[in-house]
């Protein structure tokens, strides 16, 4: 009994440690004071001021554009790469498998400097394009690893059965392979989107004029103090995330209930 009480108290402290900063951030987005020190009284002015802050909104737009574009491309390339590495034998296959882990394990600052050096040698102008390329480069290995965990020998049996029944390679991939690896592809896409959304280090080295992202914008104003309109924006992002997750869980729950019937 005592162990159970201690366990529950420990879990409560862990959740408090994780979510208390987020709760405070949301609370101070309604604070009338510009300084996030004490809470004066409730106001919605910062949400109104948010839509007048063009620099902050542009940084948010750039962040979403980069995250969505890099996620789509890295997911497509990662899925194709994972399936290809699993199904086919070719020269240097083991080397490529090992090299995939390098972007995952090396510090981001090393990868950022390396990418900056490549862009300089190629004389590419730094901007949104170079940030997107960089995010694709470090997201692909995460997608490949995630998708590869769903590839097994049973999938190979299904594919052979589909071919025996006359299905083409194209039809087999979309009807058999893709549904089987969907959990890994979705997990990889979510991971790639998350990594791109909050990246600071790599974006710092590969960004150019007019390509400021939200993490870089927030990082640049830390010295002068985070204003409540930033809190308002992050609160809205949090709200959208909760709505998306809740809707997804509801849809998945309905599918499970329908399948059980």
Per-chain mean pLDDT for the chain: 85
Confidence band for 118, pLDDT divided at 50, 70 and 90: very high
Confidence band for 259, pLDDT divided at 50, 70 and 90: low
Express each pLDDT in 215-250 by its tens digit. 888 888 877 777 788 888 888 888 888 887 788 777
pLDDT at position 24 over 80? yes
Report the pLDDT value the prediction gives residue 151, as an integer from 0 to 100: 80
pLDDT at position 111 over 80? yes
Quickly list DSSP for the chain: -HHHHHHHHHHHHHHHHHHHHHHHHHHHTTBSSSSTTS---B--HHHHHHTT-HHHHHHHHHHHHHHHHHHHHHHHHHHHHHHHHHH---TTHHHHHHHTTHHHHS-HHHHHHHHHHHHHHTTPPPSHHHHHHHHHHHHHHHHHHHHHTT--HHHHHHHHHHHHTT--HHHHIIIIIHHHHHHHHHHHHHHHHHHHHT--HHHHHH--TT---HHHHHHHTTTT---HHHHHHHHHHHHHHHHHHHHHHHHHHHHHHHHH-
Architecture of domain 53-260: Orthogonal Bundle (1.10)
pTM here?
Answer: 0.84
Average pLDDT of the residues in 199-224: 86
Average pLDDT of the residues in 178-186: 86
pLDDT at position 1 over 70? no
Report the pLDDT value the prediction gives residue 182, as an integer from 0 to 100: 86
Average pLDDT of the residues in 130-146: 92
Express each pLDDT in 61-73 by its tens digit. 999 999 999 999 9
Angstrom CA distances, 5 to 9, 10, 19, stand at 6, 9, 21
pLDDT at position 261 over 70? no
Confidence band for 76, pLDDT divided at 50, 70 and 90: very high
Average pLDDT of the residues in 164-172: 80
Confidence band for 160, pLDDT divided at 50, 70 and 90: confident
pLDDT at position 193 over 70? yes
Report the pLDDT value the prediction gives residue 249, as an integer from 0 to 100: 74
Question: Do residues 151 and 240 touch, judged by C-beta distance below 8 A?
Answer: no
The two three-digit tokens of residue 138, written as one number: 């470090």
Confidence band for 143, pLDDT divided at 50, 70 and 90: very high
User: How far does Cα 168 stand from its chain's mean position?
Assistant: 34
Question: Do residues 177 and 83 touch, judged by C-beta distance below 8 A?
Answer: yes
Average pLDDT of the residues in 37-59: 84
């Amino acid at each position: 009994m005592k162990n159970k009480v201690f366990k529950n108290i420990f879990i409560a402290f862990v959740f408090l440690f994780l979510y208390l900063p987020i709760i405070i951030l949301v609370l101070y987005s309604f604070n009338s004071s510009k300084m996030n020190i004490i809470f004066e009284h409730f106001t919605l002015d910062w949400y109104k001021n948010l839509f007048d802050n063009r620099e902050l909104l542009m940084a948010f737009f750039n962040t979403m554009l980069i995250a969505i574009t890099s996620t789509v491309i890295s997911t497509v390339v990662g899925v194709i790469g994972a399936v290809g590495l699993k199904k086919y034998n070719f020269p240097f296959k083991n080397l490529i498998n090992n090299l995939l882990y390098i972007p995952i394990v090396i510090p981001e600052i090393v990868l950022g400097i390396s990418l900056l050096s490549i862009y300089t040698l190629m004389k590419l102008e730094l901007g949104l394009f170079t940030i997107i390329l960089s995010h694709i480069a470090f997201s692909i290995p995460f997608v490949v690893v995630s998708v590869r965990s769903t590839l097994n020998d049973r999938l190979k049996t299904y594919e052979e059965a589909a071919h025996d029944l006359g299905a083409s390679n194209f039809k087999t991939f979309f009807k058999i392979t893709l549904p089987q690896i969907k959990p890994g592809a979705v997990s990889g896409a979510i991971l790639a989107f998350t990594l791109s959304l909050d990246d600071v280090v790599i974006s710092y080295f590969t960004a150019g004029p007019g390509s400021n992202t939200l993490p870089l914008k927030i990082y640049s104003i830390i010295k002068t103090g985070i204003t409540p309109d930033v809190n308002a924006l992050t609160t809205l992002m949090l709200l959208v995330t909760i709505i998306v997750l809740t809707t997804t869980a509801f849809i998945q729950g309905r599918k499970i209930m329908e399948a059980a019937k």
